[in-house]
């Protein structure tokens, strides 16, 4: 999804009261509110393919998986909407407003959001002690990148391409990369 600035400034309290009443979703970053616009069909198809494959496994573990409309409270001043998020933390089981303890966050990259997903969002997500993996999936070519938490502040990077099998170590699940792109028309 593409984030577009909407308001010059807003308090966190005002945002949390105002945002659920809106037709669009809005991210909140340090007083600024950004409208989330719709993604492409390939973007949506990739997210659905992964959700469909991953959901039974996640639920069997007693975890929750959410897609696009689930906010993550990254810090007291940041709320983001990742494409998919998994939390196995008991405190997130009954969350109504936002998840706070994600184990796995997945973003499907679009040309308009790629820099944000690789830059600011990844920097923000890394601050979450519960986060073990951050996954970036291209919506224009067969390509997946996985960042796994290592020792201290170290994040380990692995790139995957056509015919590879992708392990999601944080949730003990693996799948062929081709599953993501099944029946998806790629842009490039």
What's the pLDDT at 69? 87
Task: Give me 146's structure tokens.
Answer: 């996985």
Residue 23 lies in a domain: no
Residue 2 lies in a domain: no
**What would the mean pLDDT of 19-29 be, rounded to a whole number?**
90
Q: Give the structural domain span for 164.
A: 39-180
Look at 4-18, 128-142, 166-180 and tell me which has the smallest mean pLDDT.
4-18
Phi, psi of 61 (to 5 degrees): -85, -5
Percent of the chain whose predicted confidence (pLDDT) is above 90: 82
CA distances from 118 to 7, 112, 114, 126, 169 (A): 24, 12, 6, 11, 20
Residue 140 lies in a domain: yes
* Tens digits of residue pLDDT in 29-78: 999 998 887 778 999 999 999 999 999 999 999 999 999 889 999 999 99
Cα–Cα dist 178/127, whole Å: 31
Average pLDDT, the chain: 92
What's the pLDDT at 1? 45
In terms of Cβ atoms closer than 10 Å to its own Cβ (0-12, 13-18, 19+), residue 60 is exposed
Query: Total structural domains in the chain?
Result: 1
Q: What is the pTM assigned to this prediction?
A: 0.92
Q: How many CB atoms lie within 10 A of CB 186?
A: 12
């Amino acid at each position: 999804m593409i984030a577009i600035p909407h308001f010059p400034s807003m308090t966190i309290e005002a945002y949390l009261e105002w945002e659920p009443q809106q037709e669009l979703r809005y991210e909140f970053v340090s007083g600024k509110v950004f409208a989330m616009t719709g993604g492409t069909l390939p973007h949506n198809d990739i997210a659905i393919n992964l959700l469909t494959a991953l959901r039974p496994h996640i639920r069997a573990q007693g975890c929750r998986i959410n897609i696009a409309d689930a906010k993550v409270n990254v810090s007291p001043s940041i709320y983001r909407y990742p494409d998919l998020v998994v939390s196995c933390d008991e405190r997130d089981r009954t969350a109504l407003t936002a998840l706070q303890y994600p184990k796995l966050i997945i973003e499907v990259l679009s040309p308009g959001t790629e820099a944000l997903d690789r830059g600011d969002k990844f920097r923000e997500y890394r601050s979450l002690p519960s986060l073990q993996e951050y996954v970036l999936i291209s919506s224009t070519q067969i390509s997946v990148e996985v960042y796994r938490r290592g020792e201290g502040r170290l994040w380990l990077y692995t790139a995957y391409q056509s015919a590879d099998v992708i392990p999601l170590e944080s949730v003990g699940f693996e799948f062929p990369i081709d599953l993501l792109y099944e029946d998806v028309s790629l842009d490039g």
